[in-house]
Structure formats: C-alpha cells, structure tokens
Amino acid sequence: MTKFIRWTKDQPEPADETVVSVDAYDCSWRLPWKDVREDALSGLAAVYLEEEEMTDHTLEHIMEVNMRRCEAWHKSDQPWSNERWITAIVGELGELANNVKKIFRAEDGSVGILKGETVESLRAEIGKEWADTMLYMLLFAGHNNIDPFTAIADVFNAKSEQLGFEERL
C-alpha cells in the first residue's frame, strides 16, 4: 500500500517531473510537480508525496520523522512546555507500568485481574507502551535541543569509566 506525506513549504521542493498527488477544488489528481507548483506554494492546493516504505529504522530517522509528525499534529501558537512533555512521558510510562503490574498479579494467581485480557496481549501492550514512551522521550529531546545520541553515549561512557568497564559507545 502506498503511503503519502503532505508536502509543506518548509520542505525542499520536489523535482519538476516528480508526480505528486494533489487535492484542490474538491478533486484529486496525480500531476507533475511543475504543473502544480504555483498552486501548492500559494496554498490553493494540498500536495502529497509518495513516502517510500520505511526501511531506515535508525534512531536518527525515527526522531526526524517523529518531530515532523509532531509539528504537523500540534499546530498551536503556544508550543508545549517541558511540563507537558514530561506529563506525556510519565503518562505513557504509567500505562506501561500498569500492564506490567497486571502481568505480575496474574502470575501471582490474583483472581479476576485480567478482565478479558491475556498475559500474551498484555505483553504485546508492553511493547506498544514502551514505544510510546520512547517516542515522547525523543520529542522531549528534540524540543530541548538535546542530541539524544551524544547524551546517551556521554552518560554511558562516564558510567563505564566510573565503574571500570572497558565498553564505550
């Protein structure tokens, strides 16, 4: 299935011959960029570019796409404060912890704790909530101009040195 992302003025323009999907005047077309450029730049047409299947699963790529989606999603005159980002992170972490708690209780034999859930479904939810938490952590880093990769490496290396381990990032 082909996925599309909306082109915005802050992105590089496609090549003239790139075929784009265009929504304008309650109709949709697939036309070369050069034929819709003026309408796209003036805001008369919404232009969508085909997004290749995501094969780049590096944290750099995930962070870039996550930040781009966040900017498109949170269109507000007031950007989120650190308190809002931390609240979102802790909320997702709480959901993760709640699922882990339910698994502990089920394994300990507590009656009626799962309420239609299974340990297997809760384990799948743990992965989803962990991912939600990490995505918010990356957004927090981006909005605070923290390079998460450098920060992680610096802390990891300092701890290795402190504890006398040779492993370094």
- The least confident of 19-23, 85-89, 128-132 is 19-23
Average pLDDT over residues 121-144: 92
C-alpha radius of gyration, the chain, whole number = 22
* DSSP class per residue in 19-88: EEEEEETTEEEEEEHHHHHHHHHHTSSEEEEEEPP-----HHHHHHHHHHHHHHH---SSPPPHHHHHHH
- SS3 at position 5: strand
The chain-wide mean pLDDT, for the chain, equals 84
Q: Say if residues 7 and 49 touch (Cβ distance below 8 Å).
A: yes
pLDDT tens readout for residues 33-80: 888 888 888 887 788 777 654 455 778 888 888 888 888 777 767 788
CA distance 56 to 161: 32
Q: What is the mean pLDDT of residues 20-26?
A: 75
Residues ≥6 apart with Cβ < 8 Å to 2: 50
- Tell me the range of 9-23, 71-85, 153-167 where mean pLDDT is highest: 153-167
Q: Place 145 in a pLDDT band, splitting at 50, 70 and 90.
A: very high
Read off the pLDDT of each residue in 86-94 and give the average, rounded to a whole number: 96
Helix (H/G/I), strand (E/B), else coil: 106: helix
Residue of higher predicted confidence among 71 and 151: 151
Helix, strand, or coil (residue 166): coil
Domains delineated in the chain: 3-51 (no CATH), 59-159 (1.10.287.1080)
Handedness of CA 88, 61, 155, 101 (dihedral sign): positive
